Chain A
Amino acid sequence: MSAFFSWLAGLPPLAQIPVVIVAFGIVMVLVVFFIEVAPRSGRGYSIMRLCVAIGVPLAVLLILGIEAGAFWVLIIAAILGGGLFWLDYRARGGSGYVIQLFAFLSPALLLLLIGLVYPAVQTFVNAFRSNDGTHFVGLDNFVWVFSGGSTGLIAFINTIVWVIIAPVFATGIGLLYAVFVDRSRGEKVLKVFIFMPVAISLVGASIIFKFFFDYTQDPQIGLLNQVVEWFGGTPVAWLQNYPLNMVMLIIILIWTQTGFAMVLLSSAIKGVPTEQVEAAELDGTNAWQRFWNVTVPGIRPTIIVVWITISIVSLKVYDIIAATTGGQNDSTVLGYEMVKQFEILPPQAGHSAALALLIFILVTPFIWYNARNLKRQREE
Chain B
Amino acid sequence: MRVHVNGGRSFGPVRQAAVLAVAAASVIGLSACSSGGGSSGGNASGSVKGATVTIYGPDTGTEATELEASWSAWAKQQGITIQYTGDKNFTANIATKIQANSLPDIGMFPQPGLLSAAVQTGKVKELDSATATSVKNNFSTDWQGYVTSGGKLYATPMDASVKGYIWYSPADFKKWGVSVPTTYDQLLQLTSTIRQKTGQPPWCAGFNSGDASGWPGADQLAELVLADSGPSVYDAWVKGTTKFTDPAIGSAFDTLGKTLLNPQYVNAGFGDVKSINSTAFGDVATPLASGKCALTNQATFLEASFATVKTAAGNTPKVAPDGDIWAFPQPGPTAGKNAVVGGGDFAAAFDANAATQKVMQYLSSAEWANSLIAVPNASFISANKGLDATKEQDALLASAIKILQDPATVFRFGADDAMPNVVETAFWTGMVDWINGKSTSAVQAQIQAAWPAG
Contact = CB atoms under 8 A, between A and B. Distances in A.
Nearest to A124: B3
Contacts of A356: 1-3
B141 interface: no
Interface stretch (B117-125, B233-241, B300-308, B373-381): B117-125
A135 to B, nearest CB: 13
Contacts of B121: 345-346
Contacts of A359: 3, 5
Contacts of B120: 345-346
Given A31-B19, A119-B1, A119-B2, A347 B30 contact: no
Contacts of B271: 215, 217, 235, 237
B210 interface: yes
B35 interface: yes
Interface in A14-28: 24, 27-28
Contact of B7 (A217, A316, A360): A316
A82 interface: no
B9 interface: yes
Interface string A344-362: 1111110011001101100
B414 to A, nearest CB: 17
B178 interface: no
Contacts of B442: 149
A1 B34 contact: yes
Interface stretch (A58-66, A178-186, A290-298): A58-66
B14 interface: no
Given A1-B35, A149-B446, A217 B275 contact: yes
Highest count of chain A CB atoms <10 Å: which of B3, B27, B92: B3
Interface residues of B, number: 55
Contact of A241 (B34, B92, B274, B446): B274
B96 interface: yes
B425 interface: yes
A343 B34 contact: no
A342 B95 contact: yes
A65 B38 CA distance: 12
Please tell me the size bucket of the interface on A.
35 or more
B168 interface: no
A345 B118 contact: yes
Given A64-B30, A217-B270, A328-B429, A123 B3 contact: yes
Interface string B6-31: 01010000001001100110010011
Nearest to B120: A346
Contacts of B449: 149-150
B5 A316 contact: yes
A108 to B, nearest CB: 10
Highest count of chain A CB atoms <10 Å: which of B9, B34, B95, B452: B34
A272 interface: no
B213 interface: yes
Given A1-B30, A217-B270, A345-B95, A360 B16 contact: no
B5 A149 contact: no
Nearest to A149: B446
Given A2-B35, A326-B210, A346 B117 contact: yes
Interface in A212-259: 215-217, 235, 237, 239-241
B95 A347 contact: yes
Contact of B1 (A329, A346, A353): A353
B432 A64 contact: no
Interface in B410-453: 421-422, 425, 429, 432-433, 436, 442, 445-446, 449, 452
Contacts of A123: 1-3
B269 interface: yes
23 contacts: A2-B34, A2-B35, A31-B19, A36-B16, A116-B4, A119-B1, A122-B1, A126-B1, A215-B271, A215-B275, A217-B269, A235-B271, A240-B277, A240-B278, A241-B436, A312-B5, A312-B7, A313-B7, A343-B96, A345-B421, A346-B120, A348-B422, A352-B1
Given A328-B432, A345-B98, 8 more contacts: A2-B35, A5-B35, A60-B30, A237-B274, A237-B277, A328-B213, A343-B93, A348-B422
Interface of B: 1-5, 7, 9, 16, 19-20, 23-24, 27, 30-31, 33-35, 37, 92-96, 98-99, 114, 117-118, 120-121, 210-211, 213-214, 269-271, 274-275, 277-279, 421-422, 425, 429, 432-433, 436, 442, 445-446, 449, 452
